[in-house]
Structure formats: C-alpha cells, structure tokens
Structure 1
C-alpha cells in the first residue's frame, strides 16, 4: 500500500506549480513569488518524504502547503493518497473532493477517488471515471476500469464502448477485457 501511495502521488505531480509570470511588474506578482517558491520547496520535500515512506512527514509538508495556499490541489491530493494508504477512506474522500473543488478536471484525483470507491460506491466510481475518461479519452487504464465497473453493474453496452476505447488506446489490454466482451472489442 505504501508503494501505491507513493506512486500515485508522484504520478499526479508532473511539475512544480507555476508562479506568476516574470513579465508582471505588479506588487502582487512580487509578493507571491516567495510563497510560490516556499510551496514548490515544500511540495518537493513532501514527495521526497513520501518516496522514502515518511508519510507523517509528507503529510506535515502538505499541511504547511495548505497553510500557504489553501487551494493547492496537489497538496490535497497528496493528503488523500496518504489517508487512503492508512485506510482512512472518509478523510481521503474529503481530501480528493477538496482537490476537485480546486480543479474539477484533475484526473489523478478523479481516478484515485474512483479506485477507492469501486467496491463501496460503484455508481460514484463510475461517475468519477466517466469524468476522467471525458477529459482524457485515450487513457486506456481509465477506460478499462470504467468498463469493468459498468460490466459489474450489467450496463453491457456502455461497458463494451469503454472496453473498445481501452483496447483502441492500448491493444495489449485486450487480455484484461472480460471474455464475454473480447470478440466485440478486438481490433
């Protein structure tokens, strides 16, 4: 679980958040630059700590980021991954929802929350994966997971479409498509 927590967070954080453009000469741009640098440094520290499985230290860094930038989606997401790793699903869900309030198109939070809810709330998981699939239609893993949840809910036509999109994006996934759908979705 610790490896998953680290991998999900590192996957979600592609690069440090960008600060205001250097070309802006307003005092607002100058005043936010130190905060942006602090947030970036704390984010790198949190990722390093999480990679070394220092989850309490990483969580502390994420909370410090949120003190500086309460709408930092990466910090909310990081806390969600840590809470999920510790089995604190209610807290993780709140964290992911906070990340999604900041950026409703944050696919990492959509996918992680859906993955967490696939057993306990499959309809919500389908809704979240559907949103992620709409944002990134060629994300084969998202399509595959969506298809599996739809098939479990006996929504076969929708499942077939999701499996078809998954296989079109990555043909190697055909072997992971349930047998009853393979002929319909094979290239």
Structure 2
C-alpha cells in the first residue's frame, strides 16, 4: 500500500492544532512505511513528551538519534526528558552534546543552565543563561532562569531586574511574576510582594498556592480580613490542603475568632495528622480559650513529632507556668533559646521566670537581649522589665 504523500503534512497540522491522537496515528503510518525517518521519530517523541509519556518519548528520540546522531534538536529534546525524569547528569551531557553540535543554540543553553541549577551549580547556570541571552537578548524564559540563579547568588536587585526584564518581554509570564513575588517575600519587601502576588493572580487566578502565599503576606502585614479572603479562595481551589487550613486558623485567631480557629486547626490535623505547626497553633487556640491541659497535650505532641521546634517548646513553657509549674517552664524557655537563640519572646519569659526566682542579674540580661532584638516594641515587655532595667536596686 502506497503512503499518501500528504500524510506527514496532515500529521503536523493535527499536532499543531492539538489533536494529538490523530497526529500520532498519522506519524505511525509514516513510520510504518519509512522507518528510517529520523525527523518523524523526533516529532513523535515531542508528541509523547507533551502527553507525559516520557519513556516512549525517550525511546523515540533515541531512534531518531540512531538514524541522525548529528541532530542537536533531538539531543536537546532527549535531554529535556532526562531532566524531567531526574537523570541530571545524563541530561547535562545531552545538552552539552547539542551545544557541541550547535554552539549558538540558546534553548539548549537555557536548558543546560536549568540542569545546573538542579545540580546545585548556580555559578555555571548563571554563565549558561547569560550566554543564551547574549545569543538572544529577547528571550523571556532565559531572563526568568537568570533570575533564579541570581536569587541564589545575588545581588538580589539583579535578580529583581532579571524577572522584570522577563515580564517586560512577556507581560503574561505567570512563572516570572510568581518568582518575583517570592523573591520580594524572601527579601522582606512585603508591599512589593503583595503587589507582585496580586499581579500573578490576575494572570492566573486558579493557583491555590499563590492565594495561600498572598494570604501569608497579608497576615504578616496585619491585614487579617484580606488574609482570610486569600486563604478561603485557596481552599475553594484546593479544599484538602492542610497548610491553608492551618493558615486560615491563624488569621481567625488573630481576629479573636477562637472557635473558628480551633475548628480549622483540627481540620488541618485530620488532613495531615503529623503536622507539628498545626498542633502548636491548636495548643495556642486552646490556651486562649482557657483549656491549658488540652493545650499542653498539643504542644507535647508537636514536640514528639519535631523535638527541635523552638516555638512549641516556648509555648509549652508558658502553659506550664500558667499551671503553677515554674521550674518546668524555665527549663522549656532555656531549651527554646538553645534551639533559637534570637527569640525575644522566650528571652522575655525566661527573664520573668528568673525574676520570680529572685535571680535579677540573669533576668536583666535576658530583658536586655530581648530589647536589643526588638528595640521598637516596648509594649512587648512588662512594666517590671523597665523597673529592673532602670531601678535595679
């Protein structure tokens, strides 16, 4: 049976139109008649890769390369599959082979840089991204990749500039907008982070992780109603996400909605029973509701799961102090500070414990360290702190 000469053209048409089933059927018809067509094996590999059929895609690229080993595009495509499969060393070698065959190949340079980042080689990644951009300055994906490398290496402002350049070239580039938001978050530039998250969500509102992360920024800014709205939107999109239930509980706790907070922390723990942060937060909510015994049980379970959890250790100390166990509380504060030395709340409460024992020099030392860490938060400390500092006799 003779193959219709338009079969390959029709296969390409269906492929580009997104009708992958028809495209695959026609590609295979071509290969049944002409199994030596390296280009068609490569096209079939791309189709399989787009469907997540990585093993089949890799086999197609290998057949293509067996027939045409000097094809840089096939080496690049095979390397992408290897990268997706986590075979980083093999992926890097394939990208490098593509570049040996075609040194001016910006996509392969960008992909090699991404592989270097995955391998923990950010300096080499930066070099690859910059070379890709030398070859193609208007390459938004490479600007985004360079931003990732510079986020690790610094300077931070250069990473910001790289993400902004990616967005200038491609204003609808959600990944770059998200990366910019996360960079602002890491830098503590909260106002810019909130704006960047809002921009990312305008581009793609169906991203629960971005709604959750925006909620975290609102919470840190004291915008509790906005945080609640963001977390609720995240849960509409991803109802089974334990961390978002936990975060929404924190926001309700800040708003004084203790019963709602308890319910949310319990829901987080139903979804993820071994969730120490939710146990700690549930303990805080129960303590605020006057249930110290239940709170202590939560803190102890959190510490069983995460023995080095400084906040839970500190909160256990507070609960024990409230139950008339000052010596046990003091031990908790000391342990919390061993785990987290720059912890002003633990320093203040350890100071209070020392003061109650008459160990005023040690108390004053704790208060001074706490004030050095939070100099602008005088209301954080009790009046007795100032009495000790300014009237030590």
Fold conserved (TM > 0.5)? Answer: yes
Query: Structure 1, residues 29-81: CA drift from partner, whole Å, max 9, x if none?
Result: xxxxxx9x812222222222222222222212111111121121111111111
1:82 to 142, 149, 159: 149
**TM-score normalised to structure 2 length:** 0.36
Q: What's the CA shift for 1:151?
A: 2.2
**Aligned residue-pair number:** 154
1:112 to 152, 157, 179: 179
**TM-score normalised to structure 1 length:** 0.72
Q: Check if 1:128 corresponds to 2:199.
A: no
Q: Matched residues in 2 for 1:45 and 1:180: separation?
A: 42
Q: Matched residues in 1 for 2:169 and 2:249: separation?
A: 36
Q: CA RMSD in A?
A: 2.7
Q: Matched residues in 1 for 2:228 and 2:165: separation?
A: 32
What secondary structure, in the 3-state scheme, does the structure 2 residue paired with 1:177 have? helix
1:180 to 251, 257, 270: 251
1:141 to 209, 215, 226: 209
Contact 1:160–1:181 (CA<8 Å) still a contact in 2?
yes
Question: 2:127 maps to which residue?
Answer: 60
Q: What's the CA shift for 1:139?
A: 0.8
Q: Matched residues in 2 for 1:164 and 1:78: separation?
A: 32
Q: What's the CA shift for 1:92?
A: 0.8
Structure 2 segments unaligned to the other structure (5+ residues):
1-49, 51-72, 74-101, 254-259, 268-393
Runs of 4+ residues over 6 Å off in structure 1: none
Task: Name which one, 1 or 2, has greater alpha-carbon Rg.
Answer: 2
Structure 1 segments unaligned to the other structure (5+ residues):
1-13, 17-34
Compared CA separation, residues 47 and 157, structure 1 to 2 (3 A): same
Q: Matched residues in 1 for 2:135 and 2:249: separation?
A: 47
Q: What's the CA shift for 1:156?
A: 2.7
Match runs of 1:22-101 below 5 Å? 38-101=105-168
What secondary structure, in the 3-state scheme, does the structure 2 residue paired with 1:49 have? helix
